[in-house]
Homo-oligomer: A and B are copies of this chain.
Amino acid sequence: MDTLSWSKSEKQIAQQAFNQAYKRECEALIQQIQEKFPKIVEPETLWELHDLLSNKRKEINEKYDYRYSIIIFVFARLIKEGWLDLSELQGLGKDKLSQINVLLNM
């Protein structure tokens, strides 16, 4: 893919969408934890919670990589996984939206 240039307003839209997806994914994780570990009594459950948090934190840290060189791929992944809707990226240039669409259809 060609290197894309990002206008100030596009950067704002991208940052907002990125933050929103991150917030949604973390909120889903919080809910998952509350459902899976409503009350911890046994040490073993404590370590299960720790394992889950370790795995999710690593996954989320790797996924939410805000670099303009790769953000198109990040957005396509977030849309595929349901953390972001394509409509939330309206306002980005056609070049970017069409690249995201290509990735979504792959």
Describe A's contact surface by its main secondary structure: helix
Query: Within residues 16 to 47 of chain A, which ones have a CB less than 8 A from any CB in chain B?
Result: 22-23, 26-27, 29-30, 33-34, 40-41, 43, 46-47
A57 at the interface (CB under 8 A from B): yes
The interface residues of chain B lying within 8 Å CB-to-CB of A23 are: 43
Contact A49–B41 (Cβ < 8 Å): no
Contact A50–B53 (Cβ < 8 Å): yes
Additional 19 contacts, C-beta under 8 A, given A26-B46, A50-B54:
A22-B43, A23-B43, A26-B43, A27-B43, A29-B46, A30-B40, A30-B41, A30-B43, A30-B46, A33-B40, A33-B46, A34-B40, A46-B53, A47-B57, A50-B50, A50-B53, A50-B57, A53-B53, A54-B54
6 tightest Cβ-Cβ pairs between the two chains A and B: A26-B43, A50-B53, A30-B40, A50-B57, A30-B46, A26-B46
